[in-house]
Structure 1
Amino acid sequence: PSNHKYDAADYKQIDPAFGSNEDFVRLCAEAAKRGIRVIPDTSLNHVGSDSPYFNRFNNFPAGGAFDGGKINPASPYAKWFKFKPEETDPNKQFQGWAGVADLPELDKNDPSWRAYAYRDPDSVTNYWLDRGAAGWRMDVVPWVPDDFWREWRQAVKAKNADALTVAETWFDASKYLLGDMFDSTMNYIFRNAVLDYAAGKPAREAYANLELLREAYPPQALHALMNLLSTHDQARALHHFGYHDDGDAKALKLAKQRLRLAVFFQMTYPGSPTIYYGDEVGLGGGDDPFNRAPYPWADEGGQPDEALLADFKRLTQLRHDLPVLRRGSLSAPLHADKHVVVLARQLGTTWAITATNNSAVAQTVSVVVPFESGRLRDALGGDGIVVHNHRIKLTVPPLFGRVLVTP
């Protein structure tokens, strides 16, 4: 019933507001024809109080674990939840996740819940993989025991070895990325570092957190991280950059320039760049629920920024055109000062030098590169640069960047 939908009513039925189960099957099939994979997202940590499993409001047939606000020990779902019968207040008679009564927390150690979640042939996990899902994104991963995820991963990969598993973590996710739990995670460390950098934080300070990831994560995971800038749980990038939907044209212009810099960094860095719908056309919004505003469709009276969209397309195309930006190795930065970060990427015999500048004025730096001589082409159409004795001198435009590649 909520806007966020993590209060699941029925794990095996699409929310009627979104369509039907048949629509999901058709969506996955049509998306696959276009090279798009659909990955559903759910929580196996908590469920909705208004669900057949809990049935607090008697909106479902009798048999829920908390029918009509009363503990029902005879329910087949009774062991899924942690009840406190000694309490007299119904709101305190069960454990809500993070204290939220609308989200009864599931007992992840209960065998019957694990069976329903992933062990049974028609478990929630298998049910949607059988209907075309290409993997799973899992909510609040740190609140669920590690052995749960290890078993769950085995179930996912047994059903579809290519299915992608993505965790929601906000901090160092090293332990989840060792090959026995998740393939990837929502990279909030990346988000925080890049948004702070694009907003003006000294480059060497902001980049230190990205170095932490490069050193701590297996390379396979580093290249699969869900590198995001905006999400459904945080204020949007434009809000972070100082535009607060107040009509301030000057603030909006600067925020969009900073967003372009952040996207440039995102598209030239290892991982899986993730665009939160609407960012590409300048959709703003502060903390939840304002970060979940509808897309500004022009035929519905919205005003999508077509110039910003063109910039997004240009930068995503750049990544697609240069395999070295997608799959190239990454070493420690070649240069990091107050404003400029210079990185080297290598794929086979191809090198790419990427440079970003968070200053409002152009910056010129001299950098030692890993090859002795040659000429570098500017992938965005600018002038090339000659390498002499392992050194280059390059000027980086304000609030943007450059990509220089070997022939």
Structure 2
Amino acid sequence: MTRAFDTLHAARLRAVGTRFLRQRPLVVAIGALGQAAILASSSAPRAQVIAIAAATGSMVIAFFVEAWALGRRALDERWLGISLGATAIAIGLGALLSGGLESPMLPLLFAPVTVGLAAFGPRRGAGVMIAIAISVLLVLAVVRGPFPVVPSPQRGWMVAWSTLMTLALARLGVVGLVEAYRSVGETLDRMRGDVLEEAAHRARESEALGAKVAHEIRNPLTAVKGLVQMLAKKPSDARDERRFAVVLEEVERMEAILHEYLTLARPLTDLAPEPLRPRALLDDVAAVIEARAAASSVEVRCEGDAGEVIADPRRLREALLNLAQNAVQAMPGGGVMTLRARRDGAQVRFEVHDTGEGFDPAVRAGEVFASAREGGTGLGLALARSVARQHGGTLEIGGERGKGAIVALVIEGATR
């Protein structure tokens, strides 16, 4: 979104800057005429009146020429910066001709500086405008002008007139720029919303397509499995029997993958949260996985209690079963798997510990579909992560390679 912001900001800056520079000549011309009339009614030296009139008149002419040029060439940030900087210097010259730091024209210096700060923000242009303003003030403090300070009471009237001009120019530039920033923010919000909506739409389409493909594959796969099972009942020899066993094993593996994918592809709207006790859920998972764990010489333990939580028991059970199966598969030579539930504030942590080989860094970093097991799909972890996110939580993976693994499915919704 940074590039989009820069593009939109540049476009808005061109539009607002162009409008400001086109309207500025009229405001300055009216202000210059008022200043000239007040100065002419004073007892200031005639040469001073002529010099100030010539300087302000030249500035007004330059502004009108610039406004004409904007009809032939697009404004850019550099042009706006040069124009505002030159304006500040010209105002400094007018102040030098009318009393230096006591000049009634000095308040005008804040108009280009304020507009520049609003236009450039934290970028380099703002720093340049501040540097120019400081330089002008230093020159006025050090250099003595050729003419005295404008006498009173006209000096007071000129100060008031300069202040009104400054307010008019600041409003013309700053209000427009503030509106431009607000408009850019609203546009970015709309763009962000559109992007999120499109991403969600694409995700829903992908899930639907993936689920459809998986269903289409599963149907003929079921037929293939049935035919192989039928042929396996009457093998011609031991060699054919082994071949049929391999085919059935691979078909069952493909069915397991499809089941995991279809589970992962279920949309969020399928959630059916209800009160449940985490320890009872872990006991249920342990009972389901116990036979498979015993076949691999894996001891299953359940620990802890976390009171009650509001969650979808079916989705949590599927996620924890996948994590438990991963843990059992990580210990082909036997070991201990511990299922633990504990409360952490408003969260409940379902932890699966194993004494297997642990996870690779890619898996701990949360790479999609990464697996610690050779030939693994990573769908089990992806499913658990999806379930955790749907419950407002996360999936935490710890442990080191060769020292076992700890996977924590953390969800929100603890009630008591």
TM-score by length of 2: 0.20
| Bigger proportion of residues as helix | 2
| Structure number, greater radius of gyration | 2
Q: Which has the higher contact order (CA 8 A, sep 6+)?
A: 2
TM-score by length of 1: 0.20
